[in-house]
Structure 1
């Protein structure tokens, strides 16, 4: 027995949008729209605001690709820490699985950047060209001066939003204050101009022109969501048992005696859908879970004096009268895995070494110094990952009478890498083999707990 909610591919001839169709959404109000607006405001503030925050004398969140440093508030990450980035991506993937099992495509409907920017661009379209019927009429009308002005206003605002989005995104990789100043004074370099132009164009095309086509034809998420849904997943569902048979009627009419259900076939759920589907045809791959149809249907039910919830968040089991089961083995399993992964990641962040040492041995095998000792040369590459300058003591061990010639101390600024040349010497009689293992020890003077030990080879004649 199949335990997954089936997805339906509705034939385009039956009314579902094709690749070339333009969808005109209708304005609506409701609880889920307010929730989405609040979420969008928060995400916009997070995206556009974080890039302007400072931490000490630098940008708080800054991905310095040229310097191979990734600053996230009080932490600085290096290429050696990229395994942590992989861990973040894995945690996000499992988080997406968890949300899908719990409540379907809520990520797509409320927080996906494509959806958030798409709603903003549709709002601009409404402000400049009017509501759904006005926009349809405007599309069919010949080009006039009034139509040209409306279209120019719409595309102008789209481009301004796209430009702001692009500058902010590039600002996470190039100091934002310097970038904006250079753009204003026309002193920006070619590379910065290219990426600002590229992301402006990408945002303008994705959110303004492609819109739902990205969700329908480019995003793979909708195609594998059915493998994650089960009979207890919360999804947006039309209650066919209550709504059928559909048909128009007057408010207050005794429609039950005419064999009609609560659905008055007003098409509002279709007209507000950003992907242009009819939710009454069942759960479909194209549904992004935005709940616009719930808000629209509830408003109509209220006007007709009917109970809300003809279209609602529920599960397949709930729709069949079996009630909702939020806690279930599959969901608990995802939650436990997420907790373990998050705890492990937090431990890895807290315990990651703030000092790294790479050793590069001189190509020459060995030499004899003025005292007749066997001497090897090394370059110590010291990386200070902490947020303050550190002085480190340098020691070498591993052979009897091993001496460190040159500096035995190095000072490294916060987030900097320093190369130190040192020579290590030992009496010939102390060598047991032609190739010997020695260790270099670095320890912070201010924080003795910050220490590192790395091995290298010492060569010499016996």
Structure 2
């Protein structure tokens, strides 16, 4: 039975890489152990190309976003994304968030949580393998390392070589570029908190605030250490998600899987073994999957805590299958349910030993009984619940964003003293009002009261005269404090608190805010 359709190489001709898993699911390690350095080999294939694309997009967004301009008029910053701590504002393109609207940020964090649950439930640790900042920066650092020191074998050889001039200059250049990436990472971060061009000039000329230099120094150090030195240790020991993800997975979750029902027993497919009638699986034991793994695991040992589902082992294995003329998919994305069904076929007749012949027909093709992944299983109850919760939070935030008021009035009644009896017997109460003009435009607002028909109002900063309605100017995107006094003539106030309302209006803009408060008088008027 010839399984090979159009082989470029015979299985025994495939190079066997000397690659042992650093993190093995089959070996119980001591609690404390020195780190064994991992030298991942460069992979090529559709998943590696997708990771390149994600890396370019995510790094581009991070480094370039602070430089995007957005015209908000003359009274607001023109940086598209800005966390303005000094003025307590968060700008995101056309959206402006005030401190009391922080629930929008909290809502986005809740959406991120549900999104992470959804992705993990559907496709395993895809977030970790493609878009996690640790993964992205490690990929970037590996690009630099390979460009200077070479691919896997060259780096291993350089590690064990004596400290010659060639080794020293390569290491110095590599670490210098890593530090430059760290500086760029920290520099990009501080640009989110101030006008990027201005801060950039101040930073390089030594005029920036000390906190800016401290922030860049800290982020430079963490980026260099986490991305260049610790790498997989951050994911294995520092990140809690590997230990949480198990609760998010079920038998229908897609994870990177070695199909041992097809690959075992693995071997080099020698003519001697074939002549002896030995059963041989598709795996030629080339260790390509181990060599490309950035976490240093052997996916053939099964699911492991260290696996970040980057799928580079799939690319490596597919390339070997192409060379020997076998179908791709010895390692691929699969569900536990699919895997168990296929394993049952491979161990037919009540045996526990895997026999790949049970899953192929006489022409060497896979049996029609082999189960392949059906994308419809992603749309199951668990993922629908996560998607529904994610969507509900998103819709609620969108409705709140579109319906929010841009004019707000806060009223705080004086508590000490609660009232003042004036010389003519009238009763006066004091109030501290804060008017929030939440748009980057100057507005003329009207403040009036409703209720207490005999009462008059005085706002010293607006007018010297008393009345019941006042118009004043509110600066753009500012909070306007107003000290307001409400006076009721003698004999018109009772000992009980009288309810009335402050009304704030932008008449041209048809916006208003109403706040109900109380008026306090003594029990007996003098």
Q: Which residue of 2 aligns with 1:142?
A: 162
Q: Which residue of 2 aligns with 1:394?
A: 447
Match of 2:438 among 385, 390, 403: 385
Match of 2:429 among 360, 364, 376: 376
Could you say which structure has the larger radius of gyration?
A: 2
Equivalent residues of 2:24, 2:301 under 8 A apart: no
How far apart in 2 are the matches of 1:315 and 1:287? 15
Q: Which residue of 1 aligns with 2:350?
A: none
Count of paired positions: 452
How far apart in 1 are the matches of 2:28 and 2:259? 24
How far apart in 2 are the matches of 1:9 and 1:271? 14
TM-score (norm 2): 0.81
Q: Which residue of 2 aligns with 1:332?
A: 384
Change (3 A) 1:301 1:12: same
Q: Which residue of 1 aligns with 2:474?
A: 412
Deviation larger for 323-332 or 192-201:
323-332
1:343 counterpart = 2:395: yes
Match of 1:30 among 45, 51, 72: 45
Which segments of 5 or more consecutive residues in structure 1 lack a partner in the other structure? 1-7
Q: Secondary structure at the match of 2:378?
A: coil
How far apart in 2 are the matches of 1:183 and 1:278? 46
Equivalent residues of 1:403, 1:425 under 8 A apart: yes
Q: Which residue of 1 aligns with 2:514?
A: 453
Q: Secondary structure at the match of 2:236?
A: helix
Q: Which residue of 2 aligns with 1:5?
A: none
How far apart in 1 are the matches of 2:234 and 2:309? 15
Can you list the C-alpha shifts for 1:285-336, whole angstroms capped at 9, x where unaligned?
Answer: 1100100100011011111111110000111112224553222111222222
Can you list the C-alpha shifts for 1:355-377, whole angstroms capped at 9, x where unaligned?
Answer: 22222334333335577532223
Report deviation, 1:78.
1.8
How far apart in 1 are the matches of 2:251 and 2:276? 30
How far apart in 1 are the matches of 2:117 and 2:55? 22
Equivalent residues of 1:249, 1:264 under 8 A apart: yes
Report deviation, 1:354.
1.6
Report deviation, 1:210.
1.1
Q: Which residue of 2 aligns with 1:364?
A: 417
Can you list the C-alpha shifts for 1:253-297, whole angstroms capped at 9, x where unaligned?
Answer: 969943211101111101111100000001111100100100011
Q: Secondary structure at the match of 2:408?
A: strand
1:89 counterpart = 2:150: no
TM-score (norm 1): 0.92
Q: Which residue of 2 aligns with 1:44?
A: 59
How far apart in 2 are the matches of 1:446 and 1:45? 43
Report deviation, 1:155.
0.6
Change (3 A) 1:256 1:118: farther
Equivalent residues of 1:270, 1:277 under 8 A apart: yes
Change (3 A) 1:11 1:282: closer
Equivalent residues of 2:26, 2:301 under 8 A apart: no
Equivalent residues of 1:77, 1:385 under 8 A apart: no
Q: Any residues of structure 2 matched to 1:62-77 within 5 Å, and which?
A: 62-77=82-97
Can you list the C-alpha shifts for 1:87-145, whole angstroms capped at 9, x where unaligned?
Answer: 11111111111111110010001111110111110111101111111111111111111
Report deviation, 1:68.
1.4
Deviation larger for 409-418 or 259-268:
409-418
Match of 1:185 among 198, 205, 220: 205
